Amino acid sequence: MSVQSATAPPATDATSYLDLGISLAVNNWPALALAVESNWGGPKSNDKRDWLCGAISEMLVDRPETDAEDLEDVLIQVMNDEFDVVVDDDTAADVAIEIMEMKVQTARGDFSYIRDMWEKFQIKSQQKSASSAMFKQVESKDEDQETDGDESDDGEDIDMDDAPALVRAPREKVEPEVDEDGFTMVKKR
């Protein structure tokens, strides 16, 4: 379960709104966002976050007695197991409370909070994509670039000499100085 695309309209029934709210709350959780962005859960960090959203949704349906503390425990456990992150601040509790409040609101037919979250998410996504567009890598087709004549496009490797070993030059060995009593003098370097 992932956050709906920026062009998709918000959900129309209570369950769909709750699923959207769960996705938004989980995606807005800074600890998880950093873990996903940094791939702390491996190359499939996005999938793990989406799986977490679905697992929370299923948990709320299958176990209606679930409270914010249960949900907080799940969030902390998943962060630890899947992303190797120990969450020791109260952000997991904040996310759990927010999700439980959305559950109560959607049960009453009040979707205004989730709609507001959705609008903020869309604006944030548009700003993020606009700022990332400013920093896209541009491939230069400049003909003035210097190239070696050794480049070949036939897919073969170019033979290169081995790089020289990085070895320090040997130091001149200093002979120890022994005095008339047989003691070795210690000198500063």
The tokens of 188 are what? 């500063």
User: Hunting for tokens 């009453």 — which residue is that?
Assistant: 108
pTM above 0.85, yes or no: no
Nearest Cα to 58, choosing from 137, 1, 134? 1
**Phi (first) and psi of residue 44, to 5 degrees:** -105, 35
Q: How many residues does the chain have?
A: 189
Nearest Cα to 101, choosing from 188, 15, 18? 18
Residue 178 DSSP one-character state: E
Domain ranges of the chain: 14-130
**Residue pair 142/148 in contact by the 8 Å Cβ criterion:** no
CA atoms within 13 A on the CB side of 184: 5
Tens place of pLDDT per residue across the chain (189 aa):
444 444 444 556 899 999 999 999 999 999 999 999 999 999 999 999 999 999 999 999 999 999 999 999 999 999 999 999 999 999 999 999 999 999 999 999 999 999 999 999 999 888 877 766 666 555 555 555 555 555 555 556 677 776 666 666 666 676 778 888 888 877 776
Q: What local confidence, expressed as pLDDT, does residue 36 receive?
A: 95
Beta strands in 93-152 (DSSP E): none
Q: What local confidence, expressed as pLDDT, does residue 105 receive?
A: 96
**Phi (first) and psi of residue 69, to 5 degrees:** -65, -40
User: Hunting for tokens 């709320």 — which residue is that?
Assistant: 60
Q: What local confidence, expressed as pLDDT, does residue 2 receive?
A: 47
> Tell me: the pLDDT tens digits for 54-100?
999 999 999 999 999 999 999 999 999 999 999 999 999 999 999 99
The region, left, alpha or beta by phi > 0 then psi within -120 to 50, assigned to residue 186 is beta
Nearest Cα to 17, choosing from 103, 122, 120? 103
